[in-house]
A and B are shown apart, each in its own frame.
Chain A
Amino acid sequence: MQQFFNTALTGLTLGMVYAAFALALVLIWRSTRIVNFAQAPMAMLTTFVALVVIDAGYSYWLGFVAALVSGLVLGAVIERVVIRPVEGKAEINAVILTLGLFIVLHGLAAVIFGNRYRSFPAPFGLEGLTVGGTTIALNGFGVFTIVSVLVVMGLLVALFRYTDVGLRMRASAFNQEVARLLGVKVGAMLTLGWALASVVGSLAGLLIAGGSLVHPSYMDSVVVFGFVAAVLGGLDSPLGAVVGGLILGVSLSFVSGYVGSQLVALAALVILMLVLTLKPGGLFAQAPERRV
């Protein structure tokens, strides 16, 4: 029973990290209509920025903020410098470009920060919490992970649903020309979308790094799982991304614990295939008419 409970709890925290990453993908999808494969190395870079700050003797939280701020800047700069020249062309151009970025950023991080494993501190205790005499597989940092992802999801829903900026971002993503005619500064909106997505991605990076080991490719498995989570949720819905992340995290944890850890990647693909076959638009797709 304890194993079942612990496996579920570790799956839950892991699922929340996938969710955070999926949220970043959803954000960029909603605001620019492309999928950003470079999200993971971008988050990895900003996590290393946090590590540098913390290594210099400052507090964890200063490193945390530094990572989010550098995420904001990095996202904006990459959109302006790298993505902008291909915007308005076929979407596949931008997607391939992000794949290229993936490799470049990886190499860059290895050159600047080195290739070895390093431990990344966590702001809360790493020992499991005790409930009624037994230790459960959830520590302070796990709670922090769950809470912060839920908060971010809430903020994104609010952004897109209730604010003017959110509406403009969606407008410029759907139809640049019409949006421009209506007075939306499309360029600025695209930059903003990238910048915000990069901040959320950085958060995911920090959450998965906390209390564990980092190296330039530590986010790589998260790319795949985060992407699956986002697609499960329909790529368009923040709530869907979180639910998708949770489903994936918990089921993969059970597969690893009860079936075999070599089947984890396979299981993720099976889940993806099942969902895409039974509900092609993802679990939370809301507007099939858009598919025309």
Chain B
Amino acid sequence: MTRHIRGGGPLVAALAAALALTACGAGGRDSSDGEAAVADPGVTDDTVTIGGTFPLTGVAAPGYSEIPTGAKAYFDYVNEQGGIHGRQIEYIVKDDGYNPTTTSTVTNELVLKDEVFATVGSLGTPTQASVADYLNDEGVPQLMVSSGSLQWGDDVENRPLTFGWQPDYESEGKIIGQWVAENMPDAKVGLFLQDDDLGEDAEKGVRQFVDDQIVAVERYTSGNTDVAPQVSGLQAKDADLVLAFNTPSYTALSQLVALKTGYKPQWFYANIGSDPALVGSLLERFSEGAVAGSSAALDGVMTTEYIPGIDSADDPWVELWQQVWDEHGDDGELTNYRIYGMSQAYAFVQALEAAGEDLTRDGLVEAIEEGGTEWEGPQLAPFRYSADSHMGISGMRVVELEGGVGEPLTDVLVTDIGDAEITTDDSGQADDAPPEGGVPTS
């Protein structure tokens, strides 16, 4: 019986809040009407419970399933040092198999059953798009979505509680496009695009600079592993520079097909598809067939970087991540995906720190909007968080891979969506080091 009463409390509160909201027509922020005594769900004096959904199984699992293990390790590291404002971070990870229907179900569980304070780092464009409106309606912050789609940050009015984290695909497309226009003006450019937001946003950015250089555009459907017709299409138009915006498995597949059809352009893979360790492990077995094994598989390929990865082992941030992983990680090595998770977790911890001792959802959102651009962290370029934009990291640098290590070809370049200019970053973010103890302080 008591269970019913306890379970009913938040529901009634939520209903009341919903009614109040409809009445005043606001966009989903609650608890601003003087009920300061009632804490937001997921927060107690000594804990804050957050959740995240990731593909732990299925086609998208390779690589991506490692992200929450990295985040978890960092939260454990912070908890060991006493947590933030005396609160331990409890992190609940759910598997959605990269299937939007499942995402809805497990997100419902996180909100209604686990009563999380916020979701943090949940992964995927189609998956998170399916729950964005629900989370905003329920007043649950959807923080630092692991995807470069524009929709996490460009419409603050409709999604006031949603925040991006990684650089968006359009900005990445712009930076890559400008680099090509300046450094390879005679190249015949072919685009190899995933046929969804990833390819669309990126194409928009690239076309701003190299529209007249593009000779071929090929799109593949994620899930269809036969990309031979697409690669043949690029080859037929004699594209000698391929800008590819695809997931890691498709980097491996496109390399295999190119080998088969004797196609040897300069490849430029966007950050999302270029993890040398993962692609190398996929191609390793084919080394006899003239694909170089392991990390050398992508030698000479160009890509971009926005956080330091395992290839720069003496970067102070990577040293911290290595220490965190050694002390709190599961089995397995530290990988770039785990570093991604940790970097993201670091930003969330910064937000918690900034939100102060009286933790509320509103307070957290405000803290990110007000201070986000100033936060120093592993990211090479600052965040763009403000009251008007929830876009994440503002830039990246272009690198060429050699033995799995990215050799910088440019400084860190920053920009924004639309026709914002591309400039060299002067914030010094790329050269900072983590604070003593590895936990951010405000």
Task: Give residues in A with beta carbon < 8 Å to B.
Answer: 2-3, 6-7, 10, 14, 110, 115-122, 125-128, 130, 134-139, 211-213, 215, 217-218, 221, 253-254, 256-258, 260-262, 264
Contacts and interface: CB of A to CB of B under 8 A. Distances in A.
Given A126-B290, A137-B261, 19 more contacts: A3-B233, A6-B228, A6-B235, A7-B232, A10-B260, A117-B252, A119-B252, A120-B285, A122-B286, A125-B290, A126-B286, A126-B291, A128-B259, A137-B232, A211-B256, A217-B59, A253-B229, A261-B221, A262-B219
B156 interface: no
B265 to A, nearest CB: 14
Would you list the 7 A-B pairs with minimal beta carbon distance, nearest first? A135-B262, A257-B229, A3-B236, A126-B289, A10-B228, A256-B229, A119-B285
A261 B289 contact: no
A139 B260 contact: yes
A130 B229 CA distance: 19
A55 to B, nearest CB: 10
Interface string B279-300: 0011111101111000000000
B286 A121 contact: yes
B110 to A, nearest CB: 22
Contacts of B229: 7, 10, 253-254, 256-258, 261
B220 A261 contact: yes
Contacts of B61: 115-116
Contact of B224 (A122, A134, A138, A221): A221
B262 A117 contact: no
Nearest to B248: A117
A262 B285 contact: no
Given A6-B235, A7-B232, A10-B229, A262 B221 contact: yes
27 contacts: A3-B232, A6-B228, A6-B261, A7-B228, A14-B226, A115-B57, A116-B62, A117-B252, A119-B283, A121-B286, A125-B288, A126-B259, A126-B290, A127-B260, A128-B259, A135-B261, A137-B261, A138-B260, A211-B256, A212-B253, A213-B225, A253-B228, A256-B230, A260-B219, A261-B195, A261-B221, A261-B224
A90 B206 CA distance: 59
Interface residues of B, number: 40
B74 to A, nearest CB: 23
B58 interface: yes
B262 A215 contact: no
A260 B233 CA distance: 11
B104 interface: no
Contacts of B65: 115
A127 B259 contact: yes
A257 B260 contact: no
A126 to B, nearest CB: 4
Contacts of B283: 119
A212 B249 CA distance: 10
Interface of A is mostly: mixed
A40 B316 CA distance: 49
A116 B277 CA distance: 14
Interface in B178-215: 195
A120 B289 CA distance: 12
A150 B281 CA distance: 34
Contacts of A121: 285-286
Contacts of A254: 229
A211 B289 contact: yes
A47 to B, nearest CB: 14
Nearest to B282: A119
Interface string B348-390: 0000000000000000000000000000000000000000000
Nearest to A261: B221
Contacts of A213: 225, 249, 252-253, 282
Interface in B289-337: 289-291
Contacts of B57: 110, 115
A208 B230 CA distance: 19
A85 to B, nearest CB: 31
Contacts of A135: 261-262
Contacts of B290: 125-127
Given A126-B260, A212-B225, A262-B195, A115 B233 contact: no
A264 B281 CA distance: 29
A250 to B, nearest CB: 11
A11 B227 CA distance: 11
B249 A117 contact: yes
A253 B223 CA distance: 15
A6 B195 contact: no
A118 B228 CA distance: 19
Nearest to A119: B285
A221 B221 CA distance: 13
A264 B59 contact: no
A212 B58 contact: no
Which of A10, A117, A138, A139 has the most C-beta atoms of chain B within 10 angstroms of its own C-beta? A117
Contacts of A137: 228, 232, 260-261
A6 B232 contact: yes
B226 A256 contact: yes
A257 B285 contact: no
